[in-house]
Amino acid sequence: MPDSSAPIGVFDSGVGGLSVLQALRRALPQAQFVYVADSAHAPYGEKTAAFVQERSHAIARFLHERHGIAALVVACNTATAAAAESLRQAWADMPLVGVEPAIKPAARLSRTGHIGVMATRGTVGSARFARLLHDFGQGAHWHVRACDGLASAIENSTAASLLEDEKIRALCAHHTSALGQFGTEAGQIDTLVLGCTHYVFVRDTLQALLGPKVQLVDTGAAVARQTQRLLGWAPAASAAGGDALAPVAQIQLLTTGSLNALQMAAQRWLGLPLQCCAQVQVP
Q: 193 is in which domain, residue-wise?
A: 103-217
Give the model's confidence band at 73: pLDDT under 50 very low, under 70 low, under 90 confident, else very high. very high
Residues 92, 75 contacting (CB under 8 angstroms): no
160 shares a domain with 241: no
* Position 51 in a domain: yes
Mean pLDDT in residue range 77-99 = 96
Is residue 49 in a domain? yes
Averaged pLDDT, 115-134: 96
Q: Check which CATH number belongs to the domain holding 53 and give it.
A: 3.40.50.1860
User: 61 pLDDT band (50/70/90 cuts)?
Assistant: very high
Residue 159, pLDDT score:
64
| More confident: 238 or 66 | 66
Does residue 145 fall inside a structural domain?
yes
Sequence-separated (6 or more) residues with CB below 8 Å from residue 275? none
Let me know if residue 1 belongs to a domain. Answer: no
Q: Are both 208 and 120 inside the same structural domain?
A: yes
Query: pTM of this prediction?
Result: 0.91
Separation of alpha carbons 134 and 105, rounded Å:
14
pLDDT of residue 161: 59
The answer to which of 43-47, 117-121, 191-195 has the lowest mean pLDDT is 43-47
Is residue 2 included in any domain, yes or no? no
Predicted local distance difference test score (pLDDT) of residue 241 = 45
Q: Could you check whether the bond before residue 43 is cis, i.e. omega within 30 degrees of 0?
A: yes
Same domain, yes or no: 168 and 193: yes
Q: Where are the beta strands (DSSP E) in the chain?
A: 8-12, 33-37, 71-74, 96-98, 114-119, 141-146, 191-194, 215-217, 251-255, 277-279
Q: Are residues 174 and 116 in the same domain?
A: yes
Cα–Cα distance for residue pair 140/146, rounded to 1 Å: 19
* Helix (H/G/I), strand (E/B), else coil: 256: coil
Distance CA 24, CA 269 (A): 14
pLDDT for the residue numbered 2 = 55
Whether residues 41 and 65 share a domain: the answer is: yes
For residue range 226-274, list pLDDT tens digits in order.
999 999 875 443 444 456 787 888 999 999 999 999 999 999 889 999 9
Residue type, 278: A
Give the helix/strand (H/E) hosting 131.
helix 127-136
Which of 172, 196, 276, 277 is the catalytic position? 196
Task: Clarify whether 276 is annotated catalytic.
Answer: no
Mean pLDDT of 114-120: 97
Among 193, 217, 241, identify where a domain stops.
217
Active site residue 76: yes
**217, 248, 264: which is the final residue of a domain?**
217
107 and 213 co-located in one domain:
yes
259, 277 Cβ separation under 8 angstroms: yes
Query: Which of 217, 246, 262 is the C-terminal boundary of a domain?
Result: 217
Question: Which entry of 76, 147, 276, 277 is annotated as an active-site residue?
Answer: 76
Residues 32 and 168 in one domain: no
Residue 3 resides in a domain = no
Q: Show the DSSP H helices in 10-102 as ranges.
A: 18-27, 49-67, 77-90
Examine the domain organization and report whether 187 and 93 are in the same domain: no
Q: Is 181 part of a structural domain of the chain?
A: yes
Mean pLDDT (the chain, rounded) = 92
Query: Are 213 and 224 within one domain?
Result: no
What is the count of structural domains for the chain? 2
Distance CA(96)–CA(201), nearest Å, equals 24
CB 99 within 8 A of CB 24: no
State whether 41 and 59 are in the same domain: yes
Residues 212 and 227 in one domain: no
Identify the weakest region by mean pLDDT among 94-103, 193-202, 227-236. Answer: 227-236
Same domain, 258 and 200: no
pLDDT at 122 over 70: yes
